């Protein structure tokens, strides 16, 4: 018998299993909350703060994704304070990061709160020095533009690219590469403050780093900052079209573990491989073989070369 605690969320009393977070309690009814850094399969880092809620008696708002519900808690998820903080936090994000590929749910929340990321001024253009900034030192701004994380895309291997102009610093990739899944520790957060960034040691290229190209960081990235090379090339060529894609679930053929794969295909070509986050074997994570070792499937038989094949071949040049 698991114990329960009673809480009131937006005027609705409910009993939830002890140890549930406020977010879990909300989602157990139809009261969804925005989240960005949170993912069911990873340890909560509570850094993005878009999920904050008001708990009566607490001086500040609290992150619903990590705060455990306590007996008698009275929670408001749609008070003026909550709406205000979420609005400004989204505005901070969208004013500094390219969020154009972030999921529709997030965009929906931003609309709902009436976000206006342009109110901090015009966005500053890309810079090349973000990997070499020193903690505690930055050039004083003029205030004419709003600083961004815009920077060149890192394309250093055939399997995935890192476009940190889209990075909201949610720490998901670091967790997936580290203790929560892969245990490879190829990447971590370097630097400090606005200059904090995801980095290998000394910003070395991925092929020289500890990376084993499992793609698990790509699988958890919420903003498209980490993107399979196939998707990246197709997008650049204007050919990525998710409406024309279908997903086929199958089991990886490489070893006997039984990882489920989702093959995303467009025009009869595999353009991306994922694994369901709720799959008991993988929790959404794969290894390099299941994730990237699919080209043999398309080389069987003598298929005619399609425009997609031509674009994908660019990645290997």
Question: Is residue 55 at the binding interface for ligand SF4, with CB under 6 A as the rule?
Answer: no
Among 35, 223, 274, 275, binds ligand FES (CB under 6 A): 35
CB of 139 to ligand FES, least distance (A): 20
Partner interacting with residue 65 (select from another protein, ligand SF4, ligand FES, none; CB below 5-8 Å by kind):
ligand FES
CB of 43 to ligand FES, least distance (A): 12
Q: Is 134 in the site for another protein (CB under 8 A)?
A: yes
Q: Does 81 interact with another protein (rule: CB under 8 A)? A: yes
Among 16, 226, 311, 312, binds ligand SF4 (CB under 6 A): 226
Return the number of the residue (179 or 247) whose C-beta is nearest ligand SF4.
179
How is residue 173 written in tokens?
């990739």
DSSP state of 134: P
Q: Does 223 bind ligand FES (CB under 6 A)?
A: no
Q: Least separation, in Å, of the C-beta of 312 and ligand SF4?
A: 19
- What values do phi and psi take at 16, rounded to 5? -125, 155
Q: Would you put residue 203 in left (φ > 0), alpha (ψ -120 to 50) or beta?
A: left
Eight-class DSSP state of 179: T
Relative to beta strand 4-9, strand 74-76 is parallel
- b or e along 273-300 (b: 16 or more beta carbons within 10 Å of the residue's beta carbon)? bbbbeebeebbbbbbeebbbebeeebee
Of the two residues 95 and 216, which places its CB atom closer to another protein in the complex?
A: 95
Q: How many whole angstroms separate alpha carbon 287 and alpha carbon 281?
A: 12
Is 93 a binder of another protein (CB under 8 A)?
A: yes
> Does residue number 271 form part of the binding site for ligand FES (CB under 6 A)?
no
How many residues lie near another protein (CB under 8 A)?
60
CA gyration radius, the chain: 21
Under DSSP, the state recorded for 262 is E
Residue 263: enclosing H or E segment and its boundaries? Answer: strand 260-266
| CB-nearer residue toward ligand FES: 46 or 151 | 46
Residue 25 contacts ligand FES per CB under 6 A: no
Give whichever of 89 and 214 is closer to another protein, judged by the CB atom: 89
Task: Give the count of alpha carbons within 13 A of 310, CB side only.
Answer: 6
The reply to whether 73 sits near ligand SF4 by the rule CB under 6 A is no
Return all residues near 130 (Cβ < 8 A) that are at least 6 apart: 149, 151, 164, 195, 197
CA distance 282 to 291: 12
Give the residue from 49, 22, 317, 306 showing the smallest Cα distance to 170: 49
For residues 137-156, which are near another protein according to CB under 8 A? Answer: 137-138, 140-144, 146-147
Determine if 222 is a binding residue for ligand FES (CB under 6 A).
no
The residue within the footprint of ligand FES, chosen from 21, 25, 38, 180 (CB under 6 A), is: 38
48 binds ligand FES (CB under 6 A): yes
- Please, which of residues 156-195 interact with ligand SF4 by CB under 6 A? 167-173, 176-177, 182, 184, 186-187
Q: How far apart are CA 43 and CA 167, in angstroms?
A: 19
- Which stretches of the chain bind ligand FES, using CB under 6 A? 35-38, 46-51, 63, 65
């Amino acid at each position: 018998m698991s114990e329960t605690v009673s809480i009131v969320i937006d005027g609705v009393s409910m009993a939830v299993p002890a140890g549930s977070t406020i977010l879990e309690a909300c989602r157990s009814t139809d009261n969804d909350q925005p989240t960005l850094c949170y993912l069911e399969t990873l340890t909560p880092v509570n850094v993005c703060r878009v999920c904050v809620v008001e708990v009566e008696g607490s001086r500040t708002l609290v992150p619903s994704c990590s705060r455990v519900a306590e007996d008698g808690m009275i929670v408001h998820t749609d008070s003026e304070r909550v709406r205000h903080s979420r609005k400004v936090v989204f505005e901070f994000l969208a004013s500094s990061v390219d969020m154009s590929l972030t999921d529709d749910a997030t965009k929906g929340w931003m609309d709902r709160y009436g976000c206006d990321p342009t109110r901090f001024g015009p966005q500053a253009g890309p810079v090349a020095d973000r990997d070499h900034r020193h903690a505690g030192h930055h050039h004083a701004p003029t205030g004419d533009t709003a600083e961004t994380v815009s920077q060149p895309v890192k394309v250093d291997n055939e399997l995935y690219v890192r476009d940190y102009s889209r990075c909201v610093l949610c720490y998901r990739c670091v967790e997936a590469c580290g203790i929560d899944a892969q245990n490879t520790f190829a990447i971590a957060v370097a630097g400090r403050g606005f200059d904090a960034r995801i980095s290998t040691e000394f910003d070395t290229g991925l092929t020289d780093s500890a990376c084993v190209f499992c793609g698990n960081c790509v699988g958890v990235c919420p903003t498209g900052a980490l993107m399979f090379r196939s998707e990246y090339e197709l997008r650049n060529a204007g050919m990525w079209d998710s409406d024309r894609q279908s997903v086929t679930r199958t089991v990886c053929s490489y070893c006997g573990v039984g990882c489920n794969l989702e093959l995303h295909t467009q025009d009869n070509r595999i353009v991306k491989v994922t694994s369901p986050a709720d799959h008991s074997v993988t929790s959404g994570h794969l290894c390099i073989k299941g994730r990237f070792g699919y080209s043999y499937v398309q080389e069987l038989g003598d298929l005619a070369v399609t425009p997609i094949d031509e674009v994908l071949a660019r990645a290997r040049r």
